[in-house]
Structure 1
């Protein structure tokens, strides 16, 4: 049995996060730190921060969303592009990691004490790519209330921007926002006319 890319991503993130819970040196080696990226050229942190998480709740929520919506996006890409669709899906995940970190990279480049972890930026990208592909598909808010994806997305964007401006908690809201915006327009980079037409037809 061949596992899907989404399943393999979830397993890998889960394993690395689990070991980082036991080994703080591994956690600190992989976490996002703008100062070390900019001033010590540790560029790998732009990618590895997605594989470590703050706690079990953080990890489980990201894995659930990644698996649920990643499976849909992966299936859509493969269904439309065959094996090339797998490459498009992998690129969506990989590119979303540094792109979702751009704002914090610039904002905290001279702050050696700012750290961030988690796959939330990439997960947001995949979630919003799914919304682009199926804007009226239901998203269950708090796993209970069904909301059309496009309406959930609008609320998510507003909330992420508002909380990012407020800067009153320890959540990377700008990573969520930037990842979401990238994921939403990502299909247009693959085939602008095809996917713009697809999006319009959904309405």
Structure 2
């Protein structure tokens, strides 16, 4: 198993475990708009290694376990690191963009980074099949589109505690970084590249028209 992949898993587990047992540590490094705007930008990265509970941590690490090998095999170690941390930062930046005036907004989790890896894997291997709820087979590209459309719905509805904005930003990061590193994908998977871009265009269209 790749040492970089193991290192990321271990970092998430250790930092999350510390946060589970140290409330002050958790509050110091979580994503908090007011603190970030006051100059604590480290939270935009550190929050991606904290999790709300063990279930949250396990779900993200399990998703990473399934899709990271696809990105490693196609792009290599350096590009995987760029996808993972770039998606984490994209997720945090988009969250700040949408919640910059909500000084009390808080969030934690590797979801942005993991979603970026997921979206990168879908772009690299769009014909792979995923198990919806681990049971129902569904093409990866359809899952990616539905996932982002659901994220837009969640951003608009604001009726749960899920960081939909970070998920969406992470997916954008994974998509863009993968295309920058492998621009030939635009020719090899033209239709899939366009289809996967539709939710991203739709999001910014809704934001531009004030519908989010």
Output the TM-score relative to the length of structure 2: 0.85
Shift of 1:97: 1.5
Equivalent position of 2:189 in the other structure: 199
> Structure 1: which 5+ residue stretches go unaligned?
79-85
Change (3 A) 1:17 1:134: same
Q: Is the 8 A contact 2:48 2:88 kept in 1?
A: yes
Residue 74 (structure 2) aligned to one of 50, 73, 76: 76
Q: Is the 8 A contact 1:131 1:184 kept in 2?
A: no
> Structure 2: which 5+ residue stretches go unaligned?
194-212
Shift of 1:102: 2.2
Shift of 1:19: 1.4
Residue 128 (structure 1) aligned to one of 119, 125, 130: 119
Detail structure 1 runs of 4+ shifted over 4 Å in the superposition.
Answer: none
Output the TM-score relative to the length of structure 1: 0.88
Q: Is the 8 A contact 1:73 1:126 kept in 2?
A: yes
Task: Report 1:34-45 matches (<5 A).
Answer: 34-38=33-37, 40-45=38-43
Equivalent position of 1:144 in the other structure: 135
The CA distance in 2 between the partners of 1:111 and 1:202, in whole Å, is 36
Change (3 A) 1:181 1:202: closer
Equivalent position of 1:33 in the other structure: 32
The CA distance in 1 between the partners of 2:2 and 2:22, in whole Å, is 28
The CA distance in 2 between the partners of 1:28 and 1:140, in whole Å, is 35
Shift of 1:181: 2.2
